[in-house]
Structure 1
Amino acid sequence: MSNSEQPLILRPADPDAPFVRDENKLNPRLMEVRTALVEAVAAVFREKKITREEYEHFRDVLRALQELKAAEGFFDIWLDQMTDETTAEEWEGTSTNPEGPFYVPGMPLLEPVGPGASYVLPMRPAEPGRPLLVEGQVRSLDGTALAWAEVETWQCADTGVYSMLGMDDQPDGNLRGRFRTDGDGRFEFRTIKPVPYMSPGIPQIMLDLWDGLGKAHYRPGHLHFKVRHEDIADNGRFMTQMYFEGDPYLVADPGENARSSLAVSTRRRADPADLAARGLEGHSFFLSAHFDMVIATMPAGAVGAE
């Protein structure tokens, strides 16, 4: 060490001086919640007679999550729902769902391919999978259309892999896109029906945990949606996911995000005129689904509201 460098000192200036807490920095709310959490967890340990071996296994799970940089998401599965009013049974609108780890910002705004707000997600020629047409409306809880809202969607390919993660040869932006609703908040876009998939790199200890909880190793097929509009109450942004009725993994989602209220039915359409109108002349059928997003908006007169 050169003379100009100061040594690293981590000890107090006077190790024998009494500790004096800063009363101005005390947070009674933090102290109250911390005490309640400790007491609640301690009660579970006592009631269920948690053993040292079981606790050490839990620590191993936490270490595995830390290595995946997924510890926050593991706890967020349960805790986020406790402060989200849209997950309540009596909620009249669309429930939220998290963004997930495979979102990529900066996707270009798509141009409509037909009358109104009709779009096609970027995809390869002869993209593998069953063609899917999704149509719906974005509106507020009182039924007011959110005109010209920006809708962003992304999903996995028929292999279960998302584009732009360096896992396969999908082109950048494949099955990802942003578009705008029309003046009535309506939209329509063509894609493929997403399949169930397993997130890559899940360690065996997590798979064992899911097995023990009766969970699947695969998430149910879904599309992600992120809606932006100046009238939306939560900082102008709303996020959710759309699932499919009949998906065998819907009731055993390891991510514990899937909700029956977010699951839609699909209709098989094979009319040649319909196929031609959607640019699907080489297909014998396509599926269609309807998904409205009913979102809480700011009260009239609030900052940011019209």
Structure 2
Amino acid sequence: MSGYFEESKSVEVVNGRMGTDVPERLATVMRALVAHLHAFVKDVELTEEEWGKAIEFLTSTGQICSGERQEFILLSDVLGVSMLVDAIQNRKPKGATPSTVFGPFHVEGAPERPMGFDISLDGKGERCLFEGRILDIDGTPIEGAVIDVWSDNAEGFYDVQQPDIQPKWNNRGVFKTGPDGRYWFYGIKPVSYPIPDDGPVGQMLGHIGRHPFRPAHTHFRVVAEGYKPLITHTFVAGDPYLEGDTVFGVKGDLIVDFVQEDEGERTGEWTARFDFVLV
């Protein structure tokens, strides 16, 4: 479409400038983006000052990003976009383990450990045994499933947030199942923690009256040949932030009863049992 820009036909004019050889999916996404963005601006009658503030916010969000920190992921998470994309792309049959947000603290290359290894390298926190099985939708154990696990430490920080304090790979590890599909390893009972709120996203949450906390959880990525990869968490039952998770990541089927042992050599320690069901 040719023509000069006018408020009444802003979407048509902007989308009319798109080339004819643009890949179909890219053209679809960009046309919709322009349409929704222009509709938003018209709906709230955005002022020049407000748009300037938005540009400042996005600029500062990019400037605080680094190899260890991804502020745009946090922004996507707290706006519920990460969970919405996840929900759309990971619709599953009944009985399959739900997925949830990947989060900004995963690190590739964690060492593979033998079953029964203790991934808490700093020795802090309440010791917990994580155990269960990796199954298919029919309940058959999956051999050779690779389980990548990571969590915060007893103070609520991931190792990459405290590289000079925590040992490298603290509360991280990779495990591979045998013929019985079973996994078991030691770590700590995770604790709730705030997402990094010293940057633009934290300031935004403060302005709109929201807290930055996530309920206690442990991250899992489970991959097996022939199955769709699973990215999920297990959450500690009874955590006060379950219904107010700042990134909207909690699903009822992922809440786990952490049981404190009251007899034997593991008295006082915790056990979290959970079976992961892949599609």
Alignment TM class, shorter chain as reference:
0.7 to 0.9
Alignment pair present for 1:75 and 2:69: no
Distance 2:243 2:102 in 1: 20
Question: Is it true that 1:59 corresponds to 2:55 in the alignment?
Answer: yes
CA contact (8 A) 2:131 2:274 kept: yes
1:291 corresponds to: 274
Q: Distance in 1 between matches of 2:76 and 2:49?
A: 21
Q: 3-state DSSP class of the match of 1:120? A: coil
Question: Cα deviation per residue 1:45-79 (whole Å; 9 max; x = unaligned)?
Answer: 33344444443333232122111223642336515
SS at match of 1:243: strand
Structure 1 gap segments, 5+ residues each: 1-20, 113-117, 297-306
- With normalisation by structure 2, the TM-score equals 0.78
- CA–CA distance in 2 between the matches of 1:98 and 1:240? 7
Structure 1 residues 37 and 91: alpha-carbon distance in aligned structure 2, compared to 1, 3 A threshold: farther
Distance across 1 between alignment mates of 2:105 and 2:71: 16
Query: Normalising by structure 1, what TM-score?
Result: 0.71
Matched position secondary structure for 2:134:
strand
- Does the Cα contact within 8 Å between 1:81 and 1:87 map onto a contact in 2? no
Correspondence 1:108 to 2:111: yes
Distance 1:99 1:79 in 2: 9
- Residue 14 of structure 2 corresponds to which residue in structure 1? none
Indicate how the Cα distance of structure 1 residues 164 and 45 shifts in structure 2: closer, same or farther if over 3 A, else same.
closer
> Structure 1, residues 97-119: CA drift from partner, whole Å, max 9, x if none?
3433322333322223xxxxx44
Conservation of the 8 A alpha-carbon contact between 1:266 and 1:287: yes
The answer for the alignment partner of 1:222 in structure 2 is 217
Aligned counterparts of 2:235 and 2:198: Cα–Cα separation in 1: 22
Residues of 2 paired with 1:289 and 1:38: CA distance? 47
Aligned to 2:185: 189
In the alignment, structure 1 residue 178 sits paired with structure 2 residue 174: yes
SS of corresponding position for 1:34: helix
Q: CA contact under 8 A between 1:135 and 1:186: conserved in structure 2?
A: yes
Once residues 295 and 241 of structure 1 are traced to their aligned partners in structure 2, the CA distance between those partners, rounded to angstroms, is: 14
Cα distance in 1 between the residues matched to 2:268 and 2:128: 10
Larger Rg: 1
Cα contact 1:151–1:226 (8 A) shared by 2: yes
1:211 maps to 2:214: no
Letter in 2 for 1:255: V
> CA 1:140–1:67 in structure 2 vs 1: closer, same or farther (change >3 Å)?
same
Deviations 1:192-211 (A, max 9, x none): 111122344732x4223213
Alignment of 1:4-153 (within 5 A): 23=20, 25-69=21-65, 70=70, 72-73=72-73, 74-75=75-76, 78=81, 81-82=84-85, 84-85=87-88, 88=91, 92-112=95-115, 118-124=116-122, 127-153=123-149
Could you tell me which residue of structure 2 aligns to residue 161 of structure 1? 157
Q: Is the Cα–Cα contact under 8 Å of residues 122 and 177 in structure 1 kept in the other structure?
A: no
Q: Secondary structure at the match of 1:111?
A: coil
RMSD (CA atoms) = 3.0
Per the TM alignment, residue 153 of structure 1 is displaced from its structure 2 partner at its CA by 0.9
Contact 1:223 1:242 in 2 (8 A): yes
Q: Which runs of 5+ in 2 are unaligned?
A: 1-17
Residue in 1 that maps onto 2:239: 247
Q: 1:104 to 1:141 in 2, by over 3 A?
A: same
Q: Which moved more, 1:147-156 or 1:254-263?
A: 254-263
Distance 1:256 1:52 in 2: 32
**Aligned pairs, how many?**
256
1:128 positional shift: 2.4
Letter in 1 for 2:232: T
Q: Match for 1:261 among 253, 256, 267?
A: 253
